[in-house]
Structure 1
Amino acid sequence: MGQKVSSQPRKVRKRQVYRAPLHVKAKQLVAPLSSELREKYGIKRVRVRKGDRVLIVRGSFKGHEGKVVGVDVKKVRIFVEGVNLTKADGTEVPFPIHPSKVVITELDLSDPLRKEKIEGRVSGGE
């Protein structure tokens, strides 16, 4: 027999969100593309990567645009340059942002595999 599958929402949530393996959490690190990029590539969302330029559209840093300087797969958060919090002792720490709260304005296509994958979708995957 197979494993028992729970139908209790709290247990399902625990498995899908809080205790998800990293390869599943990596798939949660997607952000919508700007309307210009969406027209150009025909893709609605793509995984955020270090080097992409993003515009923050929600939260206290709304309107800030900057380069992604880090990605935390474990916590499903990204870090944008210039978006920092000042601690009580005066030190600046990067502020973690959920990728759904940003819009990608410029893609980093320096990786040939990523470029091929994104541009391959435009031509219909041929």
Structure 2
Amino acid sequence: MKYNPRVSSSRRKSRKAHFTAPSSGRRVLMSAPLSSDLRSKYIVRSMPVRKDDEVQAVRSTYKGREGKVVQVYRKKWVIHIQGCKKLTRPVKLTETDSSQNCFDLRCGDPKLTQIGTGANLNPSWT
């Protein structure tokens, strides 16, 4: 049942708002749930994923794998995680190609296990 008269319950309008959302809106929509330790520490259920965070794949073919977030690609709605990459043929990776050695997850698949130490780490609500 719809309670807020300002929000449309139309499927078409909801999909349009989702897929045409600006980058600032996608940041919030691409939030990931926190692990139980972080949930008790920060007293919130989910936070936007940022570079240098540690995440664990909860769904998809990479289920159970952990890795560090290399890039949050908001335009494609994916998060690039450092780790294994699906390769079509055997390729010898060098140290310069280490940035390419990552896999991408959809925004609903990861769970935050550790928050990276960045410049914007001090949230106002802690």
TM-score of the pair, normalised by structure 1: 0.76
What amino acid is aligned across from residue 61 of structure 2 in structure 1?
A: S
For 1:7 and 1:58, locate their aligned partners in 2 and report how far apart those are by CA, in whole Å.
28
TM-score of the pair, normalised by structure 2: 0.76
Q: C-alpha displacement at 1:73, in angstroms?
A: 0.9
Find the counterpart in structure 2 of residue 27 from structure 1. Answer: 28
Higher helix share: 1
Find the counterpart in structure 2 of residue 17 from structure 1. Answer: 18
Q: C-alpha displacement at 1:59, in angstroms?
A: 1.0
Q: How does 1:44-83 map to 2 (within 5 A)?
A: 44-83=45-84
Task: Judge conservation of contact 2:82–2:101 (CA < 8 Å) in 1.
Answer: no
Taking structure 1 as reference, are residues 9 and 121 closer, same or farther at Cα in structure 2, changes over 3 Å only? same
Q: Which runs of 5+ in 1 are unaligned?
A: none
- More displaced stretch, 89-98 vs 29-38: 89-98
Q: C-alpha displacement at 1:52, in angstroms?
A: 0.3
Aligned partner of residue 122 in structure 2, secondary structure = helix
What amino acid is aligned across from residue 57 of structure 1 in structure 2?
A: V
Q: C-alpha displacement at 1:15, in angstroms?
A: 2.2
Taking structure 1 as reference, are residues 108 and 6 closer, same or farther at Cα in structure 2, changes over 3 Å only? closer
Task: Judge conservation of contact 2:82–2:103 (CA < 8 Å) in 1.
Answer: no
Task: Judge conservation of contact 1:54–1:105 (CA < 8 Å) in 2.
Answer: yes
Q: Which runs of 5+ in 2 are unaligned?
A: 1-6, 92-99
